[in-house]
Structure 1
Amino acid sequence: MTVLFEASYQQEPYVGLGDPGDAVLTLYPAAGLDLPAAVLAAGGGVPALAAALAAGRSPVTAAAQEVAFRPPLLPHSPGDAMVSGFMATHNVKADSGAPDQPNWFFKGLGDVLKVSGEPLRVPADPVAVTEEAEVVLVYVGDAEGVPRYAGYTFGNDLTDIGRFRRHNGHLSYAKLCDAGIAPWLFLGTPPAHVTGHVTIERDGRAAWQGAFVTGTKALHYGLRDITAELFSYASLRHPGRVHYVYLGADRSSFHNGFTTADRDRVTMEFATHGVTLTHPLRWG
């Protein structure tokens, strides 16, 4: 599976194409490259994007552990990125009375996105925080501001589900936690079937483990319908703005009676795609 990634190597920005499991990476200097524009111009085509990355740029190689990865297509100004998502989208959560359009929430600007290894911050005194393993769609606003699909990745939509359960009008507050995100942008259509498992460690030992299923086949809603409705609003349209849309989750540790705590460590393995995310949790 070919993915696009961005990374800092020897304090310089680079981009590359590869596989999430690659131990050695081929990197192209990113200075002067409008990467979102190149991705849209390539239209999901790997050869076209590879040619754009290599044009006039001499590659270098580096071991994966020597680079610092960034969220995919994240603008240098956090205010130019918007992180949001849909709630209760999966068949296991939607009942016969589900609305035509799922609830949408705003999670934050680009600075809430954290790659593996970085802590996920939670507001002080949460009620009950849970992990949510999700597919994340990435869109880039074109010259007219219309969000164009660029690719997908995976993430952890950390949520104070206890606050929402206590008062469902507080969904907007419940979602204002950091969001884990993989640095890999998968080029192509969103995945139909994704499986994996979560491990939550406390004091160095596994405190909870569970499996999850996600992907478009697990959704109660038509993906094209809900994203078209979302991006029909003019307030979300702006040239160059990057949108990260979390598509909702299967059941989480909370639904199995577990409650996370400050300093817990959450690892998500998206086994079907070779992606692992690990984040320590930090209250306040």
Structure 2
Amino acid sequence: MSHPRQPVLFEALYDGVRHVGFGRPEEGAPQTLHRVEDGQVAAAFIATDGSEAALRDALTEGAATTVVVTAGDPELRLLPPLLPAATGAALLSGFMGTHKKKWGGETAPEGAEFTPPKWFFKGFGDWVRLPGEVLNVPARPVALIEEPEVALVYVNDADGTPHYAGYTFGNDLCDIGLHRQDPGYNPYCKLCDTALTPWLFLGPPPRTVTGRVTIVRDGATAWEGPFDCGDDALYHRVRDMADHLFTYPAVRRPGLVNYILLGADEASFHDGFRIADGDRIAIDVKSHGVTFENQVRYVSPPPATTPAAAPAPVATEAPEHVATA
């Protein structure tokens, strides 16, 4: 399947040093990397119009060091898009119930008052996992669900104004069974690792994103099915959702990088399938030529470290008052 050319930027550590590259490396093909400092790429999005040409000029002009590598080089470690070294300066969050399927196929009416979808906090930058890494979940989930999604990437300038950088793709793994027991448990439901691909697609959020999920168990396909998570599949408009979220000062902290998940289509859970410990979830974003895979691992709880509460005080009878003459 052919794909329209879309400019892509990525960051990586090579031999422990941060670099930026343009385009997705093909296996065995040479790739030129340009040395950058932590935060330099994010700053380039703030200082330019975010186009490929402007970013190339800002990040490669007078670059002190370049290196040519090949995909798969053991010294090359890809990074989530724009992830700062101080990973607490990045926030992963997202929206729920955004797809038209969950609204009877309808789209939010034009010109009507915007009713925002529910929002959730997923974690900080170092909670993000890359393709190939393990996705840890609690030891006793009720029912997990994979969620192939578009993730928008923003960086805030020194005044807290958000600057859109581009988008990538992710798997917002969560415990939908716990959520269905009680929607108030949703913060617990989201305490599962999320994978993001390292490729930052430059340009506006995509209207069409289609692909297929394959879940492999013991080396054989246990479930597979399609997904659609582009703007055209959503009830809420992407611009409305993002604009509303950024009315909150907490997500406009200066220098903060925001990864914002736009919501997922129906998936294996809705087909009656249940993800098990050790399953591998492979996501093929066919519309964009992106594939990634992660294994799910149920993590046993640690031994209790909190001391038991102090015993309640024992009630004693007060001594009788002794009258004196």
Q: TM-score, normalised by structure 2?
A: 0.84
Change in 2 beyond 3 A, CA 1:165/1:20: farther
- Look up the match of 1:24: 30
- Look up the match of 2:72: 65
Q: Any idea what SS the aligned residue of 2:287 has?
A: helix
Q: Which runs of 5+ in 1 are unaligned?
A: none
- Structure exhibiting the larger radius of gyration computed from Cα positions: 2
Counterparts of 2:32 and 2:25 in 1: how far apart (Å)? 13
Q: Which runs of 5+ in 2 are unaligned?
A: 1-5, 109-113, 300-325
Which of residues 80, 94, 115 is equivalent to 2:89? Answer: 80
Tell whether 2:123 aligns with 1:114.
no
Deviations 1:60-89 (A, max 9, x none): 211111121110100111211110000010
Counterparts of 2:150 and 2:80 in 1: how far apart (Å)? 14
Equivalent positions of 1:171-190 (< 5 A) are 171-190=186-205
Counterparts of 2:284 and 2:9 in 1: how far apart (Å)? 19
- Look up the match of 1:13: 18
Deviations 1:184-203 (A, max 9, x none): 01110000001110111111
Question: Size of the alignment, in residue pairs?
Answer: 284
Q: Could you tell me how far 1:32 is from its partner in structure 2?
A: 6.2
Equivalent positions of 1:8-157 (< 5 A) are 8-19=13-24, 21=26, 23-31=29-37, 34-57=40-63, 58-66=65-73, 67-95=76-104, 100-157=115-172
Q: Could you tell me how far 1:210 is from its partner in structure 2?
A: 0.7
Tell whether 2:202 aligns with 1:193.
no
Q: Any idea what SS the aligned residue of 2:283 has?
A: strand
What is the letter of the counterpart of residue 277 of structure 1? F
**2:148 and 2:169 in contact (8 A); partners too:** yes
- Look up the match of 2:272: 257
- Look up the match of 2:319: none
Q: Any idea what SS the aligned residue of 1:163 has?
A: helix
**1:6 and 1:14 in contact (8 A); partners too:** yes
What is the letter of the counterpart of residue 228 of structure 1? D
What is the letter of the counterpart of residue 13 of structure 2? S
Counterparts of 1:126 and 1:215 in 2: how far apart (Å)? 29
What is the letter of the counterpart of residue 16 of structure 2? Q
**2:26 and 2:71 in contact (8 A); partners too:** no
Q: Could you tell me how far 1:156 is from its partner in structure 2?
A: 0.3
RMSD of the alignment, in Å? 1.7
Q: Could you tell me how far 1:44 is from its partner in structure 2?
A: 2.2
Select the structure that is richer in strand.
1
Greater relative contact order: 1 or 2 (C-alpha under 8 angstroms, separation 6 or more)? 1
Q: Could you tell me how far 1:180 is from its partner in structure 2?
A: 0.5
Change in 2 beyond 3 A, CA 1:199/1:32: closer
**1:20 and 1:275 in contact (8 A); partners too:** no
Counterparts of 1:3 and 1:210 in 2: how far apart (Å)? 27
Tell whether 2:9 aligns with 1:4.
yes
Percent of counterpart pairs with the same letter? Answer: 49
What is the letter of the counterpart of residue 24 of structure 2? D
Q: Which has the higher mean CA deviation after the structures are superposed, 259-268 or 25-34?
A: 25-34
Counterparts of 2:231 and 2:283 in 1: how far apart (Å)? 19
Q: Could you tell me how far 1:11 is from its partner in structure 2?
A: 2.5
Q: Which has the higher mean CA deviation after the structures are superposed, 55-64 or 131-140?
A: 55-64
Q: Any idea what SS the aligned residue of 1:224 has?
A: helix
Q: Could you tell me how far 1:204 is from its partner in structure 2?
A: 1.3
Q: Any idea what SS the aligned residue of 2:235 has?
A: coil
Counterparts of 1:198 and 1:48 in 2: how far apart (Å)? 35
- Look up the match of 2:3: none
Deviations 1:244-283 (A, max 9, x none): 0000011111011111011111110111111111101111
What is the letter of the counterpart of residue 229 of structure 2? T
